[in-house]
C-alpha cells in the first residue's frame, strides 16, 4: 500500500471561466501532493477551454477532457470518474475552493478508520466576491433522511464507487444526495468537524437559480428512499418523515402531508405527536418558527 495514496479529483465545468482558476489553484496548493485533477469540460462556449489548457500546461497532474456535447452534471461526473485511477475519490465545483490541508486531513481520516467508506467536512460560505459570510457545520450521518449532510467537501474509497456505481442522471439537481443515500446504505459515513472548504453562494449557482425545483425533486427523492434508508433510531425515522411532511405542506399537498405525519407518529409517537399537533394548531410555518425560537433559547448560556 502506497504511503501517499493517489487522490482522484473530478472537476466538471460548463462556462465556468469566472471562478475556475481559483478552484484549480486551490487543488494545486494542497499539502497532500499526490493527486490527479480530472477536469471535465461539458462543451463550454466561453473562455473555459483556454483556462484549462493553461493549467494543464503548467501541471502534469491536471488531466483535461471535453465532452462531445453538453451532458450535464451527473453524466459529466461519470465521464470524469471513468478516467480516475486513484485509491480515494472526490469531486469539486468550478466556483468553490479547497483549503490547503483538505485532502491531507480527509485521507488521514479514511486511513485511520478502515470501516468508514466516506468522510466529509465543515465548510465556510463565501459570496461572489470571495468574502466569507458564514460557516456551515456538517450534520452527523444520521441526519441523511432530513438533509444532505455531506455537503461539498468529501472523500470516499474506490471500493465505494465500485459497489455503489455511477451518479444517476434521473436525479439531476439532487444527484449528490441520492448518491450519498446509496453509499450510506452500504458503508459507514463519518463527519470530520474541521473547516476544509470554501463554498461560494452566488446568483448564478444552481442552488440559487433552481431552488424551488430542487425542493420539489428533493421531496420525491425522500419519499422514494426513506423506506429503505437505514435509521439509527425510531426518533430519527420520525424526524425524517416529519421533514418530508413539511415539504409536502410547502408544496400544498395536504394528502401527502397527512400520510407522512401518520408514518412519523407510528415510528415515534412521543416525539412526533407534539410536532404534528403544533403544525395542525399553528400551521407548519409558524410551528417551525416556534420550535426554532425555543431551540435557540434553550441553547443560550444562562
The per-residue pLDDT for range 240-271, each reduced to its tens digit, is 999 999 999 988 999 999 999 999 999 999 99
- Please say if the pLDDT value at position 74 is more than 60: yes
> Could you tell me the CA-to-CA distances from 174 to 148, 165, 208, 211, 291 in Å, in that order?
9, 16, 14, 11, 27
Task: For 210-249, write each residue's pLDDT tens digit.
Answer: 777 888 999 999 999 999 898 889 999 999 999 999 999 9
Q: Is the pTM of this model over 0.85?
A: yes
Whether 69 and 76 have beta carbons less than 8 Å apart is answered as no
Whether 38 and 63 have beta carbons less than 8 Å apart is answered as yes
Task: For 4-53, write each residue's pLDDT tens digit.
Answer: 899 999 999 999 999 999 999 999 999 999 999 999 999 999 999 999 99
Q: Which residues contact 263 (CB under 8 A, 6 or more apart)?
A: 241
Distance between CA atoms of residues 72 and 245, nearest Å: 30
- Please say if the pLDDT value at position 66 is more than 70: yes
Longest pairwise C-alpha distance within the chain:
64
pLDDT, position 302:
37
Task: For 90-146, write each residue's pLDDT tens digit.
Answer: 999 999 999 999 999 999 999 999 999 999 999 999 999 999 999 999 999 999 999
209 band by pLDDT with thresholds 50, 70 and 90: low
C-alpha cell at 83: 478516467
Distance between CA atoms of residues 170 and 183, nearest Å: 17
Share of the chain above pLDDT 90, in %: 83
- Please say if the pLDDT value at position 203 is more than 80: no
- Please say if the pLDDT value at position 301 is more than 70: no
3-class secondary structure, 128: coil
Amino acid at each position: 500500500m502506497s504511503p501517499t495514496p493517489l487522490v482522484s479529483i473530478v472537476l466538471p465545468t460548463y462556462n465556468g471561466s469566472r471562478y475556475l482558476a481559483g478552484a484549480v489553484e486551490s487543488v494545486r496548493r494542497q499539502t497532500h501532493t499526490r493527486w490527479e485533477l480530472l477536469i471535465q469540460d461539458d462543451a463550454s462556449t466561453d473562455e473555459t477551454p483556454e483556462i484549462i489548457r493553461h493549467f494543464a500546461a503548467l501541471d502534469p497532474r491536471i488531466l483535461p477532457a471535453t465532452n462531445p456535447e453538453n451532458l450535464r452534471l451527473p453524466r459529466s461526473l461519470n465521464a470524469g470518474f471513468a478516467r480516475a485511477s486513484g485509491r480515494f475519490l472526490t469531486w469539486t465545483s468550478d466556483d468553490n475552493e479547497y483549503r490547503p490541508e483538505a485532502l491531507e486531513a480527509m485521507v488521514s481520516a479514511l486511513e485511520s478508520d478502515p470501516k468508514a467508506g466516506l468522510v466529509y467536512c465543515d465548510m465556510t460560505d463565501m459570496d461572489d466576491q470571495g468574502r466569507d459570510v458564514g460557516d456551515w457545520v456538517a450534520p452527523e450521518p444520521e441526519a441523511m433522511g432530513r438533509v444532505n449532510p455531506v455537503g461539498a467537501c468529501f472523500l470516499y474509497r474506490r471500493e465505494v464507487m465500485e459497489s455503489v456505481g455511477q451518479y444517476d442522471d434521473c436525479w439531476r439537481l439532487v444527484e449528490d444526495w441520492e448518491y450519498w443515500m446509496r453509499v450510506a446504505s452500504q458503508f459507514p459515513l463519518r463527519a470530520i468537524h474541521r473547516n476544509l472548504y470554501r463554498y461560494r453562494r452566488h446568483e448564478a449557482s444552481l442552488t440559487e437559480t433552481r431552488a424551488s425545483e430542487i425542493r420539489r425533486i428533493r421531496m420525491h427523492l425522500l419519499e422514494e428512499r426513506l423506506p429503505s434508508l437505514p435509521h439509527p433510531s425510531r426518533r430519527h425515522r420520525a424526524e425524517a418523515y416529519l421533514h418530508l411532511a413539511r415539504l409536502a405542506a410547502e408544496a400544498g399537498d395536504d394528502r401527502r402531508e397527512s400520510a407522512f405525519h401518520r408514518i412519523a407518529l407510528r415510528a415515534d409517537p412521543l416525539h412526533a405527536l407534539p410536532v404534528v399537533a403544533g403544525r395542525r394548531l399553528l400551521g407548519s410555518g409558524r410551528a417551525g418558527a416556534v420550535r426554532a425560537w425555543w431551540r435557540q433559547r434553550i441553547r443560550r448560556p444562562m
